[in-house]
Amino acid sequence: MQEIKGNLLNISGVVEEVIYKNTENGYIVLDLDSNGEQITVVGELGDIVEGERLELYGSYVNTAKYGRQFKAETCQRSLPDTPAEIRKYLGSGIIKGLGPALAKKIVDKFGADSLDIIDNDPLSLSEIKGVTADRALYISNEFRRLSGIKNVIEFLQQYQISPAVAVTLWRMYEADAINRVKENPYILCDEAIGVDFEQADAIAESLGLDKFNQNRVLSAIIYTLRRNSDAGHTCLPYTRLREVACDFIGVDEDSFDKGLQAGVEAGQLDALDISEKTYIYLHEYYRAETYIALRLAEMLKLSVPKIKDFADEIAGVEFTENIQYETLQKAAINGSLGNNLFILTGGPGTGKTTTLNGIIQILKRQKKTLALAAPTGRAAKRMSDLTGEDAKTIHRLLEVDFSKTDKLAFKRNERNPLKADVVIIDEMSMVDALLFESLLRAIKTGASLIMVGDSNQLPSVGAGNILRDLIAGGEIPTVELKEIFRQAAESMIVTNAHDIVNGEYPYLESKDNDFFFLPRQTEAECASAVCQLCEKRLPKAYGFSPLWDIQVLCPGKRGEAGTWNLNIELQKRLNPADGKKKEFRHGGHLFREGDKVMQTKNDYDMTWSKDDGEVGRGVFNGDIGIIEKMDPIGRMMAIRFDDRVAEYPYDSANELDHAYAVTVHKSQGSEFEAVILPLFEANSRLYYRNLLYTAVTRAKKLLIIVGSAKAVMTMVDNNRKSGRFTNLRFMIKE
């Protein structure tokens, strides 16, 4: 049966066969018997099985490979009611241990009443030979559970919420899921569920809930704090939060205060008074900052400076490695060996790696067990290459695990600490508050922590400003390396980077080094030059791969020279459609086999495998990869991240952006053979000094600025730091 309702076609029938099912995202391909006509149906419909009756709303699509299909947008499900359909349904494997043979026996005995018997009189099943009372009760309980999941799916589909969300909701609340949503739709905004506040708000309005109700206000506060944590803030001043949240949902200050108090009493929010100001935290960030401050204080108490001077050990390394450390390098080695906590910082070319290698050599001669790690896979690999020691990502070092509620956890913690005597973390500026908390929990009592990084880099993508706060706190022994070594000084990338951080304009007239400036008069000319450099000029002149070696870094996303436009233009040039490459649209993106993409959020559950057979989980914010292949039927794609290949459901494409051009913020912790930096909008709020410095220091062999010299000077003159609301530096001092 088929009819038009609104803009969608309505069809109904019985599921004849399930051809494909993706349990991760609920995507399914099935054959539907619609009054004798067989129709292939595709869509995110959940865990549907043979024998179910469906009423679907959608439209027909024609594909070159799979022909005519009905793409379902919504689905209403009902249980089969004829003996033949019930037999097919029960024999589909939907209930573990109930296969076609037992399904036939049940239907032969109870006919069209079979499902009613299973639901309301399960012990009658024990009349069938081989079915015990326990087995009968198990079948009944599983049937009721599955019916409950289906009810949740159907309930949420009327609000255009996916089956995947419904399954997560069921896992959390089971049979009470629908009632919970009706009472408080804002539970859907829980981080584990992930529905947008606006969508939950629309459900609440449809249910007739008062806009001043406490659940709504609290949810808006949490949403505002979480959105700001995505921008790097661990907290917000009370007055600022109140202003933003009240404006966002249209409530008065009294309603705001009541919602805030409810959140504090429920343990979801925390308030902290610092310097006569009140700051409001999501509980996890308050817990992180307070724990970090307490644990560091504890480590400092144990860090009684040793009287011994390590001059002999340093001299031994100098002799064996045929090097000569300068004064600050020796101070750094002494400080790292003589304290349980130590920070080594400095810009490019100042000898951080040489110093770190000396520290490692001495620690190994002292028979200390070491653990080396960095925040990203690329940074860890670079650390391994430069030190000759095995280095892991921090997540891998801590051994990613999951709690019973599917939230991120680590196997390494206070109860199961790392065995290392010394933990060394590189690229410390990239470490956020939550990750640093987890790291500190995993370091055993008495062990040392050495943190290496450049405090002038942009702070972490995640919330917090850890390295800068630790240095500003003034309690942790720190050495900043400042002298640029002769070999490094020959690089214009290095010398210009130091000029920039010191507030001096970089030299833009170089014609034969590793730092070039290409002036362009308009933003369109700037964008065109960037594309030409990527497509032809740099590959031809230097042999660089446009995908793996060259990276375009932009201050922002907007404009002709921003990431949004450049990704479209570079995709056309570097990976054009050819009729053979598979592709699909998701949101505003067209993804194609061969595309360069970036993960935009931490996904700890994403599975990956290496060519050597190693498997693991976790793809992280800022990871760059190439789409190797797509499977339109399975709605999956394989993405290679260096030596790992991850299997992505199409549904997870909302975690991806094209990466032909990325923002400077997203490039943290990575280095590229060649960097192209388009700069044109001189008045942009994104144009400030340490963003330019970070961009320049991402380049290993070649840096090209394209655009306006005035924009470069504006950035150098603007010494605004990446302001973040955090309180760790004050907590450390207390």
Quote the pLDDT of residue 402: 62
Distances (CA, A) of 507 to 109, 360, 529, 676, 712: 89, 36, 21, 16, 11
CB distance 115 to 86 below 8 Å? yes
Q: What is the DSSP letter of 507?
A: P
Determine how β-strand 636-641 pairs with β-strand 624-631.
Answer: antiparallel
> Terminal CA-to-CA distance of the chain, rounded, Å?
73
- The 3-state secondary structure of 194-230, one letter per residue: CCCHHHHHHHHHHCCCCCCCHHHHHHHHHHHHHHHHC
Query: What confidence score (pLDDT) does residue 404 get?
Result: 46
Closest among 704, 693, 695 to 513, alpha carbons compared: 704
Which residue do the tokens 């006569």 mark? Answer: 276
Q: How far is CA 519 from the centre of its chain?
A: 36
SS3 338: helix
Backbone Cα Rg of the chain? 30
Q: At residue 40, what are phi and psi to the nearest 5 degrees?
A: -85, 125
Length of the chain: 734
- The string of pLDDT tens digits covering residues 572-591 is 999 999 888 998 887 678 99
- Three-class HEC string of 229-254: HCCCCCEEEHHHHHHHHHHHHCCCHH
Q: Which two tokens stand for residue 479?
A: 């050495």
What single string gives the DSSP state of each residue in 425-485? ESSGGG--HHHHHHHHHHSPTT-EEEEEE-TTS---SSS--HHHHHHHH--S-EEEE-PPP
| Rounded distance between C-alpha atoms, residue 90 and residue 98, angstroms | 7
Q: Name the region of 103 (left: φ>0; alpha: ψ -120 to 50; beta: rest).
A: alpha
Q: How far apart are CA 567 and CA 44, in angstroms?
A: 29
The sign one gets for the Cα dihedral 411, 413, 414, 419 is: positive
Element containing residue 278 per DSSP (H, E): strand 277-282
Distances (CA, A) of 684 to 45, 195, 330, 560, 687: 45, 32, 42, 14, 6
- C-alpha distances in Å from residue 68, one per residue of 28, 57, 60, 630: 16, 16, 7, 20
Rounded CA-CA distance 444/441 in Å is 8
Contact 409, 441 (CB under 8 A): no
pLDDT tens column, 385-395 = 889 899 988 98
Which residues in the chain show pLDDT less than 70?
1-7, 23-25, 64-65, 303-307, 402-407, 486-489, 587, 682-684, 721-722, 734
In angstroms, how far is CA 702 from the centroid of its own chain?
A: 29
Instruction: Judge whether 675 and 497 are in contact, CB under 8 Å.
Output: no
Single-letter amino acid code for the residue at 71: K
CA–chain centroid gap for 720, Å, is 27
Phi, psi for residue 577 in degrees, rounded to 5: -65, 140
Residue 339, H or E segment: none
Pick the closest to residue 299 from 480, 475, 426 (CA basis): 475
d(CA 193, CA 172): 9
Position 457, amino acid:
Q
The whole-angstrom separation of Cα 41 and Cα 50 is 13
For residue 153, the one-letter residue type is: I
* pLDDT tens track for 669-699: 788 999 999 998 766 677 888 899 999 999 9
The CA distances from residue 49 to 19, 149, 315, in Å, are 10, 13, 73
Residue 137, class by beta-carbon neighbours within 10 Å (0-12 exposed, 13-18 middle, 19+ buried)? middle
pTM surpassing 0.75? yes
Which residue bears the tokens 């009443």? Answer: 113
CB within 8 Å of 544: residues ≥ 6 apart? 538, 550, 673, 674, 702
Alpha carbon distance 13, 53 (integer Å): 6
Question: How many other C-beta atoms are found inside a 10 Å radius of the C-beta of residue 365?
Answer: 12
Bridge partners (DSSP) of residue 422 are 370, 448
Whole-angstrom Cα distance, residue 298 to residue 19? 59
Beta strands in 642-688 (DSSP E): 644-649, 656-658, 661-663, 672-679
The reported pLDDT for the residue numbered 209 is 84
271-278 long-range contacts, Cβ below 8 Å, gap at least 24? 271/238, 272/235, 272/727, 274/727, 274/730, 275/730, 277/237, 277/238, 278/237, 278/238
CA–CA separation, 73 vs 57, rounded Å?
A: 6
DSSP strand pairing (550-554 vs 661-663): parallel
Q: Tell me which residue of 408, 281, 318 sits closest to 728, measured CA to CA.
A: 281
pLDDT of residue 1: 47
What is the structure's pLDDT at 296? 95
Amino acid in position 606: M
| Secondary structure of 374-417 in HEC code, one letter for each residue | ECCHHHHHHHHHHHCCCEEEHHHHHCEEECCCCCEEECCCCCCC
Quick check: helix, strand or coil at residue 701?
Answer: strand
Strands 550-554 and 672-679, sheet pairing: parallel
